[in-house]
A and B are shown apart, each in its own frame.
Chain A
Amino acid sequence: DVKVTQSSRYLVKRTGEKVFLECVQDMDHENMFWYRQDPGLGLRLIYFSYDVKMKEKGDIPEGYSVSREKKERFSLILESASTNQTSMYLCASSLVDYGYTFGSGTRLTVV
């Protein structure tokens, strides 16, 4: 089975801190995605990557950046965390035309 592992299950950070969320997949998938999930808004795409060093903005990229230096790892970076970035963050990976595999999520609280 494909595994997508997110480094932290729960995270509490202070306003203004730089925050790194890590995601690793073990099945050589080209595509990787970062979503945030908020009550009433569902899942929204922040950034995605279809290959090493390639990235594209999703629907809500403001305040975030990403890094994909190796195929298996896709990092989400909050340059200066703010309270409105408190959310559940989900990473996913996929092969083209195949299903998606999601990580178990990181619940980030910015205080």
Chain B
Amino acid sequence: KNEVEQSPQNLTAQEGEFITINCSYSVGISALHWLQQHPGGGIVSLFMLSSGKKKHGRLIATINIQEKHSSLHITASHPRDSAVYICAVRFSGYGNKLVFGAGTILRVKS
């Protein structure tokens, strides 16, 4: 069964802290996406990766294909990073459809 699990569900951090959000999936994939959704807002695609590591500003995404696990890291967190972060996976043989994790609600306090 194609499943995506994210942890933690909720995360509160102090400004400046290093943050990690985790995503695990059940079977082989062709791509994994990290998405960001601000309250009341649409969804923004942060990263798409199928191997290794990608970095954009203070955001880093890594994936370990053998362990079926990905992490999203935020360095030097800031209150404007407060949002819902969603992991979404395109499973091999599942066409171009995504299966979504339930999301991680991040709140960064100043």
Q: How far is the CB of A88 from chain B (nearest CB, A)?
A: 9
Stretch at the interface among B10-18, B42-50, B57-65: B42-50
Question: Which positions 25-74 of chain B face chain A at CB distance < 8 Å?
Answer: 31, 33, 35, 41-45, 48
Residues of A contacting B43 in the complex (Cβ-Cβ under 8 angstroms) = 90, 92, 102, 105
29 contacting pairs across A/B (C-beta < 8 A): A33-B98, A40-B102, A41-B102, A42-B86, A42-B101, A43-B98, A43-B100, A45-B97, A48-B96, A48-B97, A50-B96, A58-B97, A92-B43, A94-B96, A97-B31, A98-B48, A99-B48, A100-B35, A100-B45, A100-B88, A100-B98, A101-B45, A102-B42, A102-B43, A102-B44, A102-B45, A103-B42, A104-B41, A105-B41
CA–CA, A90 and B48, complex, Å? 19
Measured between C-beta atoms, what is the minimum distance from B3 to chain A in Å? 11
In the bound assembly, the distance between CA atoms of A33 and B88 in angstroms comes to 14
Assign chain B's interface to a size class. 10 to 19
> In the docked arrangement, what's the CA distance between A14 and B31, Å?
40
Are B42 and A96 touching (Cβ within 8 A)? Answer: no
Picked from A45, A103, A104, the residue with its CB within 8 Å of the CB of B98 is A45
Cβ of A75 < 8 Å from any Cβ of B? Answer: no
A47 to B2, CA, bound (A): 18
Known A42-B103, A43-B86: A105·B42 in contact at CB below 8 Å: yes
CA distance A98 to B49 in the complex (A): 10
Chain A residues with Cβ below 8 Å from B95 are 50
Q: Which of A40, A90, A96, A102 is in CB contact (< 8 Å) with B96?
A: A96
**B96 touching A42, Cβ below 8 Å:** no
CB distance from B51 to the nearest CB of A (A): 14
Contact in complex: A99, B96 (CB < 8 Å): no
User: Measured between alpha carbons, how far is A58 from B98 in the docked complex, in Å?
Assistant: 10
Asked if A31 lies at the interface with its beta carbon under 8 angstroms from chain B, I say yes
A58: chain B residues at CB < 8 Å are 97
State whether B102 touches A42 (Cβ < 8 A): yes
Q: Which residues does chain B contribute within 8 Å of A92, judged by CB atoms?
A: 43
